[in-house]
Amino acid sequence: MAYEYKLPSLGDGVTGKVTEIRVQPGQAVAKEDIVIVVGTDKVDAEMPIDVDGVVEEVLIKVGDDVTEGTPVLRIQVSNGAAAEAPKATPSTDAGKGAVGEGADTDKNADDNRSTVGEEAKSGKSEKASSGEKSTPVPTPSAEKPAPATPKGHLRASPLARKRAKELGIELAEITPAPGSERISYKDVLDYVKRKMDSASGTAVAAVGAALPHRPLPNFDKFGPTERQAQSRIGVITAENMVYAFSAIPHAWISEKADITRLEQLRQQYKDQVKAAGGNLTTTAILVKAVAAVLRKMPQFNASYDPEKREVIFKKFYNIGVAVDTPRGLLVPVIKNADQKNLTEISVELTELSARTRDGKNKIEDLEGGTFSISNIGGIGGTNMHSIVNWPEVAILSVTAARYEPVWSGSAFEPHLLMPMTIGWDHRVINGADAARFLQHLKAILEEPFLGLL
């Protein structure tokens, strides 16, 4: 009996692009075999089949945009009975697509980096429906299908609509690519690029005062060069960075925390935490300390809705910790960090970081963050100004702690000082509150008992 396998959910509202097809017509498949890989902005999701049978037809190709419910394969089911629609969440392979800066701070840390995550590319094109019988009519390649149907209902992928709305672009201004029947995510990006190149139009106003692109000089006349295509994660990183930096009015302020006593406590208790399966890193301690500050200062645990001129205060505290992986920068999220003790956070962060580096992270590992920490202390640096991880409103950057002379009142003594910088959205947070945030955090790091009060 024939059965049509459709794409399971990639996550709430998540779409992706087919990056690999692992079966072909005539090939036998067994339940749970991986048949395709779908790349999103966060993971490469391996999609398992849910029946035993033989592939009759592959209904998609590499490069297609897909979303939940997209027909993927036609299967001749071995037992003669069609299976139920797929319900399982796909397993995941190499994590991709987050954007940001940073690594981890202390010597035993997790090499974390800050990222900005957004939706992946849009869903697969679908044919417009009408009350008439459908008759195939070839469309000349020079023709461009009308972007709208009667009553002003534009045919556009969900992600294309989302990005156009974010940028303040009217979909009616965008024409689908030749041969396509609806506006895609790429069509929106191409439209923005054209407007930016001409330095005119509403798109430029929406993404900020962007300068037109200037042609590069001919570097070859100075010496040998080599060009490399930017990776998918690199493209997404660049795109998200430009959007976040353009959409959010940034400001930063820095402070140093004296972590001399904290480092002594970390060394004292790290073996106890290791026995529980975690690493007691400075990053783990920062997650716990930041959660405590966020409870006192909810404007840092928020998002801004520019359309409604409203601030959305989140009643949950999910701290994103950036991880530097061979595939790019990702930010796994410690959910409900305020409800977990330091050992629990250390164990979870150790597991999340390992999964992320090995490309085994799940989509839910990277979702739902309310505040991000970017820590490059394991590499070095004296200060860093990170870009806010949109749609969050603040990000903490930490660089390498160093011993510096501190006057005790009678003599200079060596103290371990850790530089910290808070970056914030000036529409939601003012400078005085940002300074208070750092002072609260500094106080907890210098006297950890304060975090329990």
The domain locations on the chain are 2-95, 249-452
- What DSSP designation does 234 have? H
Residue 354 host element (H or E): helix 342-357
Q: DSSP per residue over 258-313, as a string? A: E-HHHHHHHHHHHHHHHHTT----HHHHHHHHHHHHHHH-GGGSEEEETTTTEEEE
| Sequence-ordered list of residues with C-beta below 8 angstroms from that of 207, at least 6 positions apart, any chain | 167, 192, 196, 242, 243, 246, 247
Predicted confidence at residue 408, as pLDDT, reads 87
- What DSSP designation does 163 have? H
Q: Which amino acid is at 427?
A: R
Asked whether residue 89 carries a pLDDT value surpassing 80, the answer given is no
Contact 341, 285 (CB under 8 A): no
Cα(379)–Cα(354) distance, integer angstroms: 18
Asked whether residue 339 carries a pLDDT value surpassing 90, the answer given is yes
Cα(131)–Cα(51) distance, integer angstroms: 35
As given in the structure block, the two tokens for residue 82 are: 């069609």
Distance between alpha carbon 317 and the CA centroid of its chain, in Å?
17
Predicted confidence at residue 195, as pLDDT, reads 63
Q: Which residue has the higher pLDDT, 190 or 287?
A: 287
Cα(39)–Cα(222) distance, integer angstroms: 39
Distance between alpha carbon 266 and the CA centroid of its chain, in Å?
30
Q: Where are the alpha helices (DSSP H) in 153-259?
A: 158-167, 185-198, 202-207, 232-247
Residue 344 host element (H or E): helix 342-357
As given in the structure block, the two tokens for residue 363 are: 């989509």
Up-side HSE of residue 172: CA atoms within 13 Å toward CB? 5
Predicted confidence at residue 214, as pLDDT, reads 76
Which whole number is the average pLDDT over 342-346?
Answer: 94
| Sequence-ordered list of residues with C-beta below 8 angstroms from that of 306, at least 6 positions apart, any chain | 427
Q: What is the pLDDT of residues 110-121, one digit of tens each?
A: 333 333 333 333
Can you tell me whether residue 160 is helix, strand or coil? helix
Which whole number is the average pLDDT over 387-400?
Answer: 92
Lowest-confidence segment of 61-65, 89-93, 111-115, 183-187 by average pLDDT? 111-115
Q: What is the pLDDT of residues 201-212, one digit of tens each?
A: 333 344 444 445
Phi and psi, residue 37, nearest 5°: -120, 130
Question: Residue 46: beta bridge partners?
Answer: 37, 91
Catalytic residue among 153, 415, 426, 440, which? 426
Which whole number is the average pLDDT over 218-240?
Answer: 81
Phi and psi, residue 257, nearest 5°: -105, 135
Closest alpha carbon to 180 in 135, 236, 116, 128 = 128
pLDDT band at 13 (very low <50, low <70, confident <90, very high): low
Mean model confidence pLDDT for the chain: 77
Q: Which residue has the higher pLDDT, 302 or 147?
A: 302
Pairing mode of beta strands 402-407, 371-375: unpaired
Cα(437)–Cα(271) distance, integer angstroms: 31
Angle at 240 (CA atoms; ends 234, 242), nearest 5 degrees: 105
Cα(372)–Cα(329) distance, integer angstroms: 13
Cα(35)–Cα(355) distance, integer angstroms: 22
Identify the architecture of domain 2-95 in CATH: Beta Barrel (2.40)
426 is an active site residue:
yes
| Sequence-ordered list of residues with C-beta below 8 angstroms from that of 105, at least 6 positions apart, any chain | 281, 282, 283, 286, 375, 376, 377, 378, 398, 399, 400, 401, 418
Residue that is written with structure tokens 């806010």 in the block:
388
pLDDT band at 11 (very low <50, low <70, confident <90, very high): low
- 249-452 — its CATH code? 3.30.559.10
Predicted confidence at residue 318, as pLDDT, reads 96
pLDDT band at 331 (very low <50, low <70, confident <90, very high): confident
Contact 40, 65 (CB under 8 A): no
Cα(434)–Cα(142) distance, integer angstroms: 55
Angle at 19 (CA atoms; ends 6, 361), nearest 5 degrees: 85
